[in-house]
Amino acid sequence: MTEITMPDGPSSSRFVQGATALTAPLWNIRRLRRRYGPTFTVDVPVFGKAVVISDPADVKQLFMTSPEIADNLDVNLGRVLGPNSFFAINGDRHKKQRKLLTPPFHGRRVRAYEAIVEQEAVREMATWPQGQAFPTLAPMMRITLNAILRAVFGAGGTELAELRQLIPAMVKLGSRLAVLPIPRTDLGRWSPWGRAFAYRLRYDAIVDRLIAAARRDPRLDERDDVLALMLQSRYDDGSPMNRDEIADQLLTLLTAGHETTATTLAWAVERLRRHPDVLHRLVAEADAGGSELREATILEVQRSRPVVDRTARQVHAPSMELGRWTLPKGQIVMISIYLMHNDERLFPNPGAFDPDRFARQRPDTYEWIPFGGGVRRCIGAAFASMEMNVVLRTLLRDLTLAPTSDRDERWHSRGITWCPAKGGLAVISRRPGRADLVASAATSGDAATSGDAATSGDAATTTRSTDGQEA
Ligand code: HEM
Centroid of ligand 1 to alpha carbon of 261 (angstroms)? 10
Residue ranges of the chain whose pLDDT lies below 50: 436, 439, 442-465, 469-471
CB atoms within 10 A of CB 92: 10
Give dist(CA 334, CA 12) in Å, integer.
Answer: 19
Per-residue pLDDT of 61-76, as tens digits, reads: 999 999 999 999 876 7
Centroid of ligand 1 to alpha carbon of 94 (angstroms)? 14
Using CB distances shorter than 6 Å, the residues near ligand 1 are 86-87, 98, 148, 152, 252-253, 256-257, 260-261, 264, 307-308, 311, 370-374, 376-380, 383-384
- Region of residue 157 (phi > 0: left; psi between -120 and 50: alpha; otherwise: beta): left
Centroid of ligand 1 to alpha carbon of 362 (angstroms)? 20
Measured from the Cα of 388, ligand 1's closest atom is 1
Measured from the Cα of 307, ligand 1's closest atom is 5
Please choose from 140, 378, 385, 392 the residue to mutate so as to test ligand 1's pocket, defined by most ligand atoms within 8 A of CB: 378
Give dist(CA 64, CA 373) in Å, integer.
Answer: 8
pLDDT at 348: 96
Query: Any residues with CB less than 8 A from the CB of 423 and at least 6 apart, and which?
Result: 135, 136, 137, 138, 266
Q: Are 402 and 427 in contact (CB under 8 A)?
A: yes
Centroid of ligand 1 to alpha carbon of 377 (angstroms)? 7
Centroid of ligand 1 to alpha carbon of 421 (angstroms)? 22
Q: Which of 253, 343, 303, 346 is nearest to 468 (CA)?
A: 303
Measured from the Cα of 252, ligand 1's closest atom is 35
Residue type, 264: T
pLDDT at 172: 81
> Phi, psi (5° rounding) for residue 418?
-105, 125
pLDDT at 199: 93
Q: Hey, whose CA ends up nearest to atom 14 of ligand 1?
A: 372
Centroid of ligand 1 to alpha carbon of 369 (angstroms)? 11
Q: Which of 467, 265, 271 is nearest to 368 (CA)?
A: 467
> Phi, psi (5° rounding) for residue 133?
-70, 135
Please choose from 333, 371, 387 the residue to mutate so as to test ligand 1's pocket, defined by most ligand atoms within 8 A of CB: 371
Q: Which of 196, 286, 210, 276 is nearest to 243 (CA)?
A: 210
| Integer CA distances (angstroms), 419 to 141, 309, 383, 415, in order | 12, 11, 20, 10
Measured from the Cα of 97, ligand 1's closest atom is 41
What DSSP designation does 83 have? T
Per-residue pLDDT of 198-248, as tens digits, reads: 999 999 999 999 999 999 999 999 999 999 999 999 999 999 999 999 999
Centroid of ligand 1 to alpha carbon of 348 (angstroms)? 27
Measured from the Cα of 263, ligand 1's closest atom is 1
pLDDT at 470: 37
pLDDT at 257: 93
Give dist(CA 300, CA 319) in Å, integer.
Answer: 37
N-term to C-term CA, the chain: 46
Q: Which of 367, 375, 366, 363 is nearest to 467 (CA)?
A: 363
Query: Any residues with CB less than 8 A from the CB of 420 and at least 6 apart, and which?
Result: 137, 266, 267, 270, 305, 409, 410, 411, 412
pLDDT at 465: 47
Centroid of ligand 1 to alpha carbon of 262 (angstroms)? 13
Centroid of ligand 1 to alpha carbon of 242 (angstroms)? 23
Chain mean position to CA 172: 15
Which residues does residue 313 pair with via DSSP β-bridges, in sequence order? Answer: 333
pLDDT at 297: 98
